[in-house]
Chain A
Amino acid sequence: MKAGRREFLKLGLAASTALIPLPTFAQGAPARVVVVGGGFAGATCARALRQADPRIAVTLVEANGTFTACPFSNAVIGGLRELSAQQFTYDRVAAGGIALARATATAVDAQARSVTLADGTRLPYDRLVLAPGIDIRWGALPGYDEAAAAEMPHAWRAGEQTVLLRRQLEAMDDGGLVVISAPANPFRCPPGPYERASLIAHYLKTKKPKSKLIVLDAKDAFSKQRLFQAAWAELYPGLLEWVPLSKGGNVTSVDAATRTLVTDFGRHQAKVANVIPPQKAGRIADAAGVADRSGWCPIDPVTFESKLQPGIHVIGDAAIAGAMPKSAFAANSQAKTCAAAVALLLTGGAPSSPKLINTCYSLVAPDYGISVAGVYQPSAGGQLAEVPGSGGVSPAGAPRASRAAEAVLAEAWFRTITDEVFG
């Protein structure tokens, strides 16, 4: 195998005078792929690129030395888990031959094919993978800026914000009002606000049973809705109230000083307010010119190459992935598909139509899990679409043993995926 590859490289040099467009490897030098963002999408992709073809020189650009995972961070907020269980280093990733650039990527020159880091360093690439996750749209919700987030945490990027929200709940007296506001679609982790509501309700029921939780929603429907609502009626009656858009749930402004959320129908002054704000693709997507007016990034569903900038691929939450939700599982699945496509493109191959899976577990209580799953493929219209007849949510009315089994599977999923990405 090794000899074969070396032979291939030598022959590639000989072929470089041909008039056909040559894959990067045929030009002699190892191909360079830069991956920006070290979350579930980016770190998976960096590793999968090396696995697909160890000749590829992979650089992973990530500003943080520690990754803090969002899945299961609602359990941290609900006091069921510590933040340290959410944190992973890049030591094992780097040990796999991936160059780690601990920096923020600030600019991309798509013509010259280089990424600029905050200190001015330029990283040339043959192909670039952007996996920047989300940014908050500061200012999209009047009154909600970075200073307001210190009073009314979003906790939608795990870390300090997660701990802040938990501390606020712990400091609240029994009988207090907790308010969560959920944004319009699309946003990271569609069932996330409702899992969070569930686990905060669990905390209140257990520790502060005279309290009340209101979810103000900018939507009339949400992921796994019937399952969540059936579980809420069973587990948290009278404690958790969901207010949809049509009943005045849309939050139009907030006042951080008084922890007040304003809707068209009234004002809610909370003791603890969790504002899950509107979002967009992480900043570098804009700088690279791969985000469209929606703030997210249109991509080719076979290669995840940007529809706006050739040579740049976008994966994970930042991408417009059709029917695929913005989840860690989807990000991991997309990253492996993208890595295989990039490796093939670098050798002059043509990637074939992929199939991708998503599975998302939500905890409604520590021993009560529900899930949604889907299988996706590129449609004739050039979008990732659900394979007809596949997927769906856990059955309604399933016995508690089955919900308990899904809670166990949820934790097993987290151990498995984080081991694949960071272990």
Chain B
Amino acid sequence: MGRTLAAAIGIASIAAAAVASAEPPAGAASCSGCHPASTRVTSPVPRLAGLDRAAIVRAMQDFRSGQRAATVMDRIAKGFTDEEIQAIAAWYATQK
């Protein structure tokens, strides 16, 4: 009984972790306020889902450093660390 229970809880935790790993990393959920989640929307702001990971990282770093001209992205990029940018880019690259 004890072992079955332990195993059950163990598997349950893994399942919970699997659900959790699909969650966007810190900051990523806010992007779709401006970056359309849907292809239905016409906007000069690009959809992020499925974009190349390295391209997102580069864009964010260039906005942050001021290398790339921006309206609001310079101000927003300054709120994110390299690690956070990497995580956000990796997550969006896998979205459809």
Query: A residues engaging B (CB < 8 A)?
Result: 4-5, 7-8, 11-12, 14-15, 17-18, 20, 23, 26, 48, 52-53, 329, 332-333, 336-337, 340, 343-344, 347-349, 352-357, 359, 371, 373-377, 386-387, 389-392, 394, 402, 405-406, 408-409, 412-413, 415-417, 419-420, 423
Q: Is the CB of B29 within 8 A of A333?
A: yes
Given A373-B75, A409-B44, A417-B33; 13 other pairs, CB 8 A cutoff: A11-B11, A336-B30, A354-B26, A357-B30, A357-B76, A390-B75, A392-B75, A402-B71, A408-B44, A416-B36, A416-B43, A417-B34, A419-B38
Q: Is the CB of A14 within 8 A of B4?
A: yes
B3 to chain A, nearest CB (A): 12
- Inside 8 A of B41's CB, which chain A residues have their CB? 415-416, 419, 423
Query: B residues engaging A (CB < 8 A)?
Result: 4-5, 8-9, 11-13, 15-20, 22-24, 26-27, 29-38, 40-45, 71-72, 75-76, 78-80, 84
Q: How far is the CA of A166 from the CA of B76 in the complex (A)?
A: 35
With both beta carbons as reference points, the residue of chain B lying nearest to A419 in the complex is identified as B41
Q: How far is the CA of A357 from the CA of B27 in the complex (A)?
A: 7
- Inside 8 A of B72's CB, which chain A residues have their CB? 359, 371, 373, 394, 409
B86 to chain A, nearest CB (A): 14
Q: Is the CB of B16 within 8 A of A23?
A: yes
- Inside 8 A of B22's CB, which chain A residues have their CB? 52
Q: Is the CB of B19 within 8 A of A336?
A: no
A420 to chain B, nearest CB (A): 5
- Inside 8 A of A420's CB, which chain B residues have their CB? 32-33, 36-38
B45 to chain A, nearest CB (A): 6
With both beta carbons as reference points, the residue of chain B lying nearest to A387 in the complex is identified as B79
A329 to chain B, nearest CB (A): 5
Q: Is the CB of B12 within 8 A of A416?
A: no
B59 to chain A, nearest CB (A): 15
Q: Is the CB of B78 within 8 A of A391?
A: yes
A33 to chain B, nearest CB (A): 15
With both beta carbons as reference points, the residue of chain B lying nearest to A48 in the complex is identified as B29
Q: Is the CB of B33 within 8 A of A416?
A: yes
Interface centre among B5, B18, B38, B75, by most chain A C-beta atoms within 10 angstroms, is: B75
Q: Can you offer 19 A-B residue contacts whose CB atoms are under 8 A?
A: A17-B5, A26-B12, A344-B20, A347-B19, A349-B20, A352-B26, A355-B30, A355-B79, A371-B71, A373-B72, A375-B76, A375-B79, A412-B43, A415-B41, A415-B42, A419-B37, A419-B38, A419-B40, A423-B41
Q: Is the CB of A423 within 8 A of B80?
A: no
Q: Is the CB of A8 within 8 A of B71?
A: no
Q: Is the CB of B16 within 8 A of A348?
A: yes
With both beta carbons as reference points, the residue of chain B lying nearest to A406 in the complex is identified as B71
Q: How far is the CA of A349 from the CA of B35 in the complex (A)?
A: 29
- Inside 8 A of A352's CB, which chain B residues have their CB? 26
Q: How far is the CA of A419 from the CA of B40 in the complex (A)?
A: 8
Q: Is the CB of A416 within 8 A of B34?
A: yes
Q: How far is the CA of A420 from the CA of B45 in the complex (A)?
A: 14
Q: How far is the CA of A7 from the CA of B9 in the complex (A)?
A: 12
Q: How far is the CA of A274 from the CA of B55 in the complex (A)?
A: 48
Q: Is the CB of A15 within 8 A of B29?
A: no
Selected contact of A349 from candidates B4, B16, B44, CB within 8 Å = B16
Q: How far is the CA of A359 from the CA of B30 in the complex (A)?
A: 10
Interface centre among B30, B37, B42, by most chain A C-beta atoms within 10 angstroms, is: B30
- Inside 8 A of A48's CB, which chain B residues have their CB? 29
A56 to chain B, nearest CB (A): 11
Q: Is the CB of B71 within 8 A of A337?
A: no
Selected contact of B33 from candidates A11, A355, A377, A413, CB within 8 Å = A413
Q: How far is the CA of A79 from the CA of B84 in the complex (A)?
A: 43
- Inside 8 A of B5's CB, which chain A residues have their CB? 14-15, 17-18
A189 to chain B, nearest CB (A): 15
Interface centre among B11, B33, B40, B42, by most chain A C-beta atoms within 10 angstroms, is: B33
- Inside 8 A of A332's CB, which chain B residues have their CB? 30, 33
Q: With A337-B29, A340-B23 in contact, is A4–B18 under 8 Å at CB?
A: yes
- Inside 8 A of B44's CB, which chain A residues have their CB? 408-409, 412
B64 to chain A, nearest CB (A): 9
B81 to chain A, nearest CB (A): 9
With both beta carbons as reference points, the residue of chain A lying nearest to B35 in the complex is identified as A416
Q: How far is the CA of A419 from the CA of B38 in the complex (A)?
A: 8
- Inside 8 A of B27's CB, which chain A residues have their CB? 354-357, 375
Q: How far is the CA of A423 from the CA of B40 in the complex (A)?
A: 9
Selected contact of B45 from candidates A343, A355, A377, A409, CB within 8 Å = A409
Q: How far is the CA of A289 from the CA of B84 in the complex (A)?
A: 36
Q: With A53-B19, A406-B71, A416-B34 in contact, is A14–B79 under 8 Å at CB?
A: no
B49 to chain A, nearest CB (A): 12
A239 to chain B, nearest CB (A): 28
